[in-house]
Amino acid sequence: TEETSDTEKAYRIVMAGDAAVGKSSFLLRLCKNEFKLNSNATLGVDFQMKTFMVDGEPTLLQIWDTAGQERFRSIAKSYFRRADGVLLLYDVTCERSFLNVREWVDMIEDISQEDIPIMLVGNKCDLRQGAANCVPTSYGEKLAMTYNTLFCETSAKDGSNILEAVLHLARELTKHA
């Protein structure tokens, strides 16, 4: 946490989760209100900064998008070390990405200096209609309870819950600070 000016609070949030769960798309929707069907994979690390009103207070969020690929995990680790909070995404249509959440939580808890707030996000919920073998909402809720994280389901495609997820995490960071 740092104070950028007299009034503005600033937090550093890092995105986590397997490749292709929608981390870049989530960030693009949040910051530019855009969506691309075939986005390029993030190589290494990219970040966006934007000020949000959190409980009536301007709050600067610096959000880091890390690549989910195995070969970049070591780079990503140095970002988790300095994170105030984490957006941990899985893809509700990809069971593997949900099963891997555990590994991500373990890594984050291992690396971050203290208990940092995590928002567990089941993304691509727009695809649930008609898709077989999706991760049920109740599974996400249960896992979030197990790890004592926040939880929500989002769609970077239609924008649902994206801002809510971020504001909810930001509120938690404000409390935590």
User: Shortest Cβ distance from residue 70 to ligand GDP (Å)?
Assistant: 13
Nearer to ligand GDP, 58 or 95 (CB): 95
Tell me whether residue 41 or residue 53 sits nearer to ligand GDP (CB atom): 41
Give least dist CB 163 to ligand GDP, A: 14
Q: Residues interacting with ligand GDP, by CB under 6 A?
A: 19-25, 36-39, 41-42, 68, 123-124, 126-127, 155-157
Least gap, CB of 15 to ligand GDP (angstroms): 8
Do 91 and 124 contact (CB within 8 A), yes or no? yes
With CB atoms as reference, the residue minimizing the distance to ligand GDP is 22
DSSP symbols for 2-71: EESSSS-EEEEEEEESSTTSSHHHHHHHHHH----TTPPPPPSEEEEEEEEEETTEEEEEEEEEE--SGG
Cα(122)–Cα(136) distance, integer angstroms: 10
Q: Which of 54, 83 has the CB closer to ligand GDP?
A: 83
Q: Minimum CB separation from ligand GDP for residue 59, in Å?
A: 24
In the block, which residue shows the tokens 């801002």?
163
Other CB atoms within a 10 A radius of the CB of residue 33 amount to: 10
Contact by Cβ (8 Å): 68, 99:
no
In the complex, least distance from residue 45 CB atom to ligand GDP, rounded to whole angstroms: 11
Q: Which is nearer to ligand GDP, 54 or 86 (CB)?
A: 86
Nearer to ligand GDP, 16 or 61 (CB): 16
